[in-house]
Structure 1
Amino acid sequence: MIEVVGLKKRFKLTKDHKIDKHEDIDPRQDSDYFNSVRDVSFHCEKGEVLGLLGPNGAGKTTTLRMLSTALLPDNGKIHINGVDVVKSPLLARKKIGFLSGSTGLYGRLTAKENIEYFGRLHGMNKKTLKNRTEELFEILDMNSFVHKRAEHLSTGMKQKTNIARAVVHSPEVVVLDEPTTGLDIMTTQTVIKFIQDLKAQGTPVIFSTHHLDEIDLLCERVSVINEGLSCFNGTLAEFKETGKSQVLNQAFLNILQEQSHV
């Protein structure tokens, strides 16, 4: 399982980003810092899929980057199956499969070479790596383009390659930042099926998305972040109840509106 408690992260403002005291400002911003994540908590158990929701700029990606060890929290705890991610980041990285929208492929390497390179970084031996890549190529329907250079791949091909690269070492937890953004229907369905397979294998999956239909299809649990704060954590049924609607889009908007009145 993965457990996140009281995460906080702020960034020092440059002179150009400091605001005049008479301006209306984001509640996360003070004179010297932007508090991107002010207090975020959630958990995801074995075999669960947690949908992470929030408006653009809410702090979702910053939160996921802290989970991946790419950013160090200013405060809070992250545990993956008993491992303290903050205190033992190298050990934690072995347990995490992380897909970020900002992580590019090496353009002059083929899809296969990109994935194999990351497998070797994780210390996988030749036989294990061969078996694992062949398995992923089949699951993600990649065999038609594995020998193409990444710079010549379509958006969907690149995303499949990114996903395979993120999970080549069979991680204990998978974290996906908007994995279906910009994909066509067929590629999106392949990605959704892959997440369902991870779930069936007992792997906890956390993924951020703006597509509420994916939440309804995949998730047991939902966490909503707004302005750097957790404003909902619970089951999908509790999400609908708290949001006072069986329509997920409306439930989401109602939860955000409720928070704005607190």
Structure 2
Amino acid sequence: MQRKHKNIWALRDVSLHISAGEIFALLGPNGAGKTTLVRILTTLLRPDSGHARVAGWDVVTNPARVRAATGLAGQYSTVDGMLTGFENLYLIAKLRGMDRRTARRTASELLERFRLTDAGGRVTNTYSGGMRRRLDLAGSLVGSPPLVILDEPTTGLDPKSRLDAWDAVSELAAGGTTILLTTQYLEEADRLADRITVIDHGKVVAAGTSDELKAAAGSRLIIMVAEDHQMPTAIRAAVSASGNSPVVDHRDRRVEMVVTDGRSALTRALSVLEDEGVEALEVGLRRATLDDVFLGLTTARPRPAVTR
């Protein structure tokens, strides 16, 4: 699938498959193409080439079917602050084509599901950020769509509200809902997602489970010494571990580098330190984090050439 915006590739040769019932996270920096993909999947944009299907329906030829099969919670809260929580959900249900009785029952059930029953009669301007986000998520479930798209759902939330939103997302998945999650919070993807795809400059640059992505990024060999004059030995020890150039922090007297054969690399580094009589403050291996994966894949990548 491809999409160009003002002669810049917003999406280029993107191919994804999201299985029913999974949480699928899409990671990428600002401008990577995440929101463009969401707009295509929700029928707000058309791809320039390729195709996309949601619940078996083509987004171009069957947009009404796609919209009926999709719930969306965007980056910012869309609830009406002058309406109560119940009224917000009732309005969405009516817009989904439900009769009054069904709309009332649906609104009440969703308020209970998201622990908002006690606040259902209050105008949402009085809600906390976490409560508003839970109401957004509840609104995305009106009509029981098989796919819910969460486009950076915890942007701007405080840590407590973010945890509340994560709990709500986990509950959705436990109930069998398929979730596409776009986010810039790596901890969010690490905690919630069954599979992760990293997109940058409109292209998929990596895909897999969190553990698979971390394993592919290798381990980090860390050496810290007590004295400035020991730094050259620490650097030589790190280079001997893999032959690559390490990241050197002279202020903290710390050397760090990526290694693919963790234990063997550690043994080689320790051998150099021992031969030169340097007793380091710290020598060890750290498993790559999702932050390491993300930065390694998306930092300083050149933008693709523009075609006209």
The reply to whether TM is greater than 0.5 is yes
Q: CA deviation at 1:103?
A: 6.2
Which residue is equivalent to 1:11? 5
Which residue is equivalent to 2:160? 186
Q: Which residue, out of 210, 231, 239, partners 2:205?
A: 231
* 1:248 counterpart = 2:242: no
CA offset digits 1:211-261 (Å, max 9, x no partner): 222222211110111111111122223222333353111011122259659
Which residue is equivalent to 2:81? 107
Give the aligned residue type for 1:196: S
CA offset digits 1:157-206 (Å, max 9, x no partner): 32222221111111100100111222233332332222222222322111
Q: What CA distance in whole angstroms lies between the structure 2 residues aligned with 1:260 and 1:189?
A: 35
Q: CA deviation at 1:134?
A: 2.2
Which residue is equivalent to 1:150? 124
Change (3 A) 1:233 1:249: same
Q: What CA distance in whole angstroms lies between the structure 2 residues aligned with 1:186 and 1:132?
A: 27
Q: What CA distance in whole angstroms lies between the structure 1 residues aligned with 2:67 and 2:174?
A: 22
Q: CA deviation at 1:67?
A: 0.9
Q: What is the aligned-residue identity percentage? A: 35
Q: What CA distance in whole angstroms lies between the structure 2 residues aligned with 1:209 and 1:119?
A: 27
Change (3 A) 1:143 1:184: farther
Q: Name the SS of the counterpart of 2:45 in structure 1.
A: coil
Give the aligned residue type for 2:74: S
Q: What CA distance in whole angstroms lies between the structure 2 residues aligned with 1:253 and 1:76?
A: 29
Change (3 A) 1:153 1:38: same
Which residue is equivalent to 2:16? 42
Q: Which moved more, 1:97-106 or 1:167-176?
A: 97-106
Q: Which residue, out of 14, 28, 31, partners 1:54?
A: 28
- Please show how residues 131-210 of structure 1 align to structure 2 within 5 Å: 131-210=105-184
Q: Name the SS of the counterpart of 2:51 in structure 1.
A: strand
Which residue is equivalent to 1:83? 57
Which residue is equivalent to 2:257? none
* Structure 2 unaligned residues grouped into runs of 5+: 220-287
Q: What CA distance in whole angstroms lies between the structure 2 residues aligned with 1:179 and 1:72?
A: 23
Q: Which residue, out of 87, 90, 102, partners 1:128?
A: 102
> Structure 1-normalised TM-score?
0.81
Higher RCO (CA-CA < 8 Å; seq separation 6+): 1
Which residue is equivalent to 2:196? 222
* Structure 1 unaligned residues grouped into runs of 5+: 1-5, 13-32
Q: Name the SS of the counterpart of 2:118 in structure 1.
A: coil
CA RMSD of aligned residues (A): 2.3
Aligned positions, number: 236
Q: What CA distance in whole angstroms lies between the structure 2 residues aligned with 1:119 and 1:78?
A: 26
Q: What CA distance in whole angstroms lies between the structure 2 residues aligned with 1:151 and 1:198?
A: 25
